[in-house]
Amino acid sequence: MYFFRKRKEREIETVRTMITMYCKAHHHPEGDMCEECAAVFSYASLKYHRCLFGEDKPVCTVCPVHCYTKEYREKIRKIMRYSGPRMILHHPLMAIDHLLLERRSKKNLPRYLRRVGKEKKKNGRRKSA
């Protein structure tokens, strides 16, 4: 069941679902993702696993460190704009979980900023993902 998985697994599953919804509507209606959308998913998954904040990471829209390249940031933004409103109809539990995580991330933003500041001081520069 969705809520019994770890947060990391839930977030990756949510991103996969959003990309799949977008791909079915725009590129590949037969089921699996096209190569371009699969590349976006593998990039997002890689960045998630390499996140500076680890298990305690904020959602990407609230994160003070933007680790996506400009190209992929635009692609994922486009996907989320399409899939976000549709998630509440097709996958309501995932949508509610994501909204709660976003709210919690905004509430904890000062803590994330302090952590980034400590990383800068410790390494002399910010660690990138």
Instruction: Say how far apart CA 111 and CA 25 lie, in whole Å.
Output: 38
Q: Would residue 99 count as lying in a domain?
A: yes
Comparing 2 with 37, the larger pLDDT belongs to: 37
* 125 pLDDT more than 60: no
Predicted TM-score (pTM) of this structure: 0.74
Q: Read off the pLDDT of residues 27-63 as tens digits, 9 standing for 90 and up.
A: 877 777 888 999 999 999 998 888 877 777 777 777 7
Q: Read off the pLDDT of residues 54-102 as tens digits, 9 standing for 90 and up.
A: 777 777 777 777 788 899 999 989 998 999 889 889 988 888 887 787 7
Q: Would residue 71 count as lying in a domain?
A: yes
Domains identified in the chain, total number:
1
Residue-level pLDDT at 81: 92
The pair of three-digit structure tokens given for residue 67, joined into one six-digit string: 């680790």
Longest distance between any two alpha carbons in the chain, whole Å: 50
Cβ within 8 Å of residue 47, ≥6 positions away: 67, 68, 129
* 1 pLDDT more than 70: no
Q: Would residue 62 count as lying in a domain?
A: yes
Q: Are 68 and 47 in contact (CB under 8 A)?
A: yes
Q: Are 64 and 51 in contact (CB under 8 A)?
A: no
Residue-level pLDDT at 123: 52
DSSP 6: -
Write out the residue range of the structural domain in which residue 81 sits: 7-123
Q: Would residue 77 count as lying in a domain?
A: yes
Residue of 103, 24, 119, 10 lying closest to 62 (CA atoms): 103
Q: Would residue 1 count as lying in a domain?
A: no
Q: Would residue 129 count as lying in a domain?
A: no
Instruction: Say how far apart CA 118 and CA 3 lie, in whole Å.
Output: 32
Q: Would residue 29 count as lying in a domain?
A: yes
Q: Would residue 2 count as lying in a domain?
A: no
